Amino acid sequence: MSFVEQQGFHEFMAETQPLFKFYTRNTLRSDAMKMYEAEKAMLLKLLGKNSSRIAITTDMWSSDCQNKGYMAITAHFIDDDWNLQNRLVRFAYVPAPHTTEVLSDVLVNSLYDWNIDRKLSTLTVDNCSTNDAMIHLVLDKISPSNFVKRGEFFHMRCCAHIVNLIVKDGMNAIYGSIEKIRDSVSFWVATREEKFEETCRQLNINYRRKLALDCRTRWNSTYLMLASTLPYREVFERLRHRKSLYKVVPPDDEWEMANELVDKLEVFYSVTELFFGTLYPTTNLYFSKVCEMRLNLNEWLFSPNEMIHRMATNMISKFEKYWDQINEVMAVGAILDPRYKMKLLKFFS
């Protein structure tokens, strides 16, 4: 906040708006805290009078510059006008070490501060052993009578995270089969993208979707890389004869593999995007989408492509591992959806 007292900022604002009134860092800090307290009071009032239960999501985040850990806690609820509400109730610094005891203390104290410990429905976290242990400690620190079915349905595993783990396992089996496509994208997006775009114009191909290099640890970025590259297969072939330094042209079988991967992974990408939605409820969509993914994996097992078969085998193995850990209440969400009711469960059972 000391930025407002720096000479450079004063000179800049004097040129931009001579009538601008300068404040000290202490005034700025005081005003920010007043706004925070006012917003917190309004949210406390809203949470207090709201009659529905509140679902909590939480995750840890580490800052690159400070190397410190922070916990974000978000409350999700349906207000009295039947509108979906999402409110960030805490962004707290968590001192190291980040043990399950420390994490559970920060979370439980935040729930008490907001007086929502008696209105909880579920707690959604990423799927890892640390979070599993933290959930048990939270249940020990809050009276069981405050929960639905004494906490039986309290622990909710993040669906998007589980899908991510399943697909990552499958992708590990096929990364080598798209290596030259990745190298080609890397070659042209580094410093030669103008030449690539020029060749697109020569071939009357609209360079609407720019090339994007993937991050190996994020399968969805690999999917987007392949999806953005496939329309320019002819461009890469042309550049092969125009640029002597370009020697990593993907062979035909690699292009075919990329095309099949994009086709197969599209359902997983669309499901992940759906689960990440914040402006609409997602619980009712979960059961049908998980079953849809399972049916697709069953089909892939019979693929004549050995790589696709291997990928499906890896993904089904991971799918079975997490299927038994899914909260049963997710199926109830599908039943309560008037479009599905019991028909969906009967169809997939």
What is the token pair recorded at 34? 């007043």
Peptide bond into 97 cis (omega under 30): yes
Nearest to 227 by CA among 192, 191, 195, 273: 273
Lowest mean pLDDT among 69-73, 132-136, 344-348: 344-348
154 and 104 Cβ atoms separated by less than 8 Å = no
Range of the domain at 69: 53-157
What is the pTM (predicted TM-score) of this model?
A: 0.74
* Strand positions, DSSP E, 63-104: 69-78, 84-94
pLDDT tier, 120 (very low <50, low <70, confident <90, very high otherwise):
very high
Does the pLDDT of residue 324 top 70, yes or no? no
Convert the pLDDT of each residue in 264-286 to its tens digit.
899 999 988 888 887 888 888 88
Does residue 294 share a domain with residue 321? Answer: yes
Does residue 172 share a domain with residue 264? Answer: yes
Q: Which of 123, 141, 157 is the last residue of a domain?
A: 157
Q: Domain count for the chain, please give it.
A: 3
How big, in percent rounded to 5, are the helix, strand and coil portions of the chain? Answer: 60, 10, 30
Does residue 262 share a domain with residue 232? Answer: yes
Does residue 329 share a domain with residue 207? Answer: yes
Does the pLDDT of residue 294 top 70, yes or no? yes
Convert the pLDDT of each residue in 134-190 to its tens digit.
999 999 999 888 988 888 888 888 888 888 888 888 888 777 788 889 888 888 887
